[in-house]
Structure 1
Amino acid sequence: MLQEVPIGVAPQSFTPYQSLISRIHRQINSSAAQSTRHTTIARQPDESASDWDVFLEQLELEESVRVTRIARGVARLMWTNQHPA
């Protein structure tokens, strides 16, 4: 159900970095990526190269995630299941 926004109040907007994280999060959580525990991500033309690099650096700090930079703006993510069923 859509949430109503009171008159005069702007809906919450994301920073470009938050939008990047949200987009990749959706890709990682797709059923295809979850079943194989890997996905290839790519920076979109309208996304900042600096934001992309910061995001990948943050991912590289995660013990359960392996980041392989394939090309400029493209990376393969592989992860282990931290919460077994």
Structure 2
Amino acid sequence: MAKGKPAPAAAPTSYELLGARIHRAINAPAAQKSRSAVLLRVEGDTPEDWARILDEIAENDNVTIAHRDDGVQLFWTVPKDD
């Protein structure tokens, strides 16, 4: 039986690209040390993607979002273990 070619991977959506960029920013060593990250808007980011991801981030109790002209800054705390 002949093997078919594997289907090409679907290109990531603009939301997925934004999420990956935010993930990298938050997990950067400097951001982890300061417990803050600046997230800048770039060409190609849609207002809908930003609104969705900020809504999802805001669901976390230990995160503060500060809006800036060029994006947002996130601050977070790490709860102490009991």
Aligned residues: 78
Asked if structure 1 preserves the Cα contact closer than 8 Å seen for 2:57 and 2:63, the reply is: yes
Q: Which of 53, 67, 72 is equivalent to 1:75? A: 72
After TM superposition, what 4+ stretches of structure 1 lie above 4 angstroms from structure 2? none
SS in 1 for 2:57: helix
Identity among equivalent positions (%) equals: 27
Counterpart-to-counterpart distance in 2, 1:42 and 1:17? 14
**How large is the Cα RMSD of the aligned pairs?**
2.0
**Which structure 1 segments of 5+ residues have no match?**
1-5
Task: Tell me how far 1:80 sits from its aligned partner.
Answer: 1.0
Q: What TM-score, normalized by structure 1, do the two folds share?
A: 0.78
Q: What TM-score, normalized by structure 2, do the two folds share?
A: 0.81
